[in-house]
A = this chain, B = another copy of it.
Amino acid sequence: MIRRIPQARDRGIPDATVARLPLYLRALNGMAERGTATVSSEDLALAAGVNSAKLRKDLSHLGSYGTRGVGYDVQYLIYQISRELGLTQDWAVAIVGVGNLGRALANYGGFASRGFRIAGLLDADPHVVGDRIAGLVVEHADELESVISKRGVSIVVIATPATAAQRVCDRVIAAGVTSILNFAPVVLAVPDGVDVRKVDLSIELQILAFHEQRKANGGPIMAEEWPDGVVM
């Protein structure tokens, strides 16, 4: 029997919907700050950058939290989405690799405000170990397993160079972590039951370049051949 990786659809919530919930949450938080009490699907959709039918269908997967003729109660919806995403609890996150990117992540305000607590910063470079960043002291990567178990870390962010990523990945999985956010430009091999999400900064630029090229050429490009002199 193959054990399926738990997916969104375990309770019928499509992955595409889950990926948009944080967007709605952000829009709602903005509205809450501005004192808005209720919001229609039309307005919320506009603020989140999607169309209103999609928004309503997404929300309908969570339950029926709107009032016909009125809209959604902002505070209530914030609570329901937060709960669904698991943001009503506190998540301990460790960041491995404290280069520029690791520092940027450690200082990023968007984490703390959403229930993510940076519980450890680790790096293999002795020159970095001991630095104080965002109120934490950088620890040596040797401490990885002990930091994870002692501080209840359940999500690890890998911001190391590509060459170190798989080794770090193996170690954190051995230590019991099953959720990994990977910024290193490699495909991590993981066993079933472990979730990896990846962010590759250069992939996004490449996709933009593709579209930019299309625009510049004003249409289908000529079939340019393999340049002379290159031997297959």
Contacts and interface: CB of A to CB of B under 8 A. Distances in A.
Interface of A: 6-8, 10-11, 18-19, 21-23, 25-27, 47-49, 73, 75-76, 79-80, 83-87, 89, 91, 93, 99-101, 103-105, 107-108, 110-111, 114-116, 154-155, 157, 178-181, 185, 187, 193, 195, 197, 199-215, 219-221, 224, 226, 230, 232
B200 A22 contact: yes
Copies of this protein, total: 2
Contact of A85 (B23, B178, B210): B210
Contacts of A84: 210
B219 A10 contact: yes
Contact of A22 (B22, B27, B202, B221): B202
Contact of A199 (B195, B201, B221): B201
Contacts of A108: 101, 201-202
Given A79-B230, A108-B201, A116-B202, A212 B10 contact: no
Contacts of A99: 104, 107
A212 B11 contact: no
Contacts of A201: 105, 108, 110-111, 199
A28 B207 CA distance: 17
A26 B185 contact: yes
Contacts of A207: 18-19, 22, 85, 197
A226 B104 contact: no
A75 B22 contact: no
A185 B114 CA distance: 13
27 contacts: A6-B215, A10-B214, A10-B219, A11-B221, A19-B203, A21-B210, A25-B206, A48-B187, A73-B232, A79-B226, A80-B226, A85-B210, A91-B205, A91-B212, A108-B202, A111-B202, A155-B205, A155-B208, A178-B215, A179-B208, A179-B209, A179-B212, A180-B208, A181-B204, A193-B215, A195-B211, A199-B204
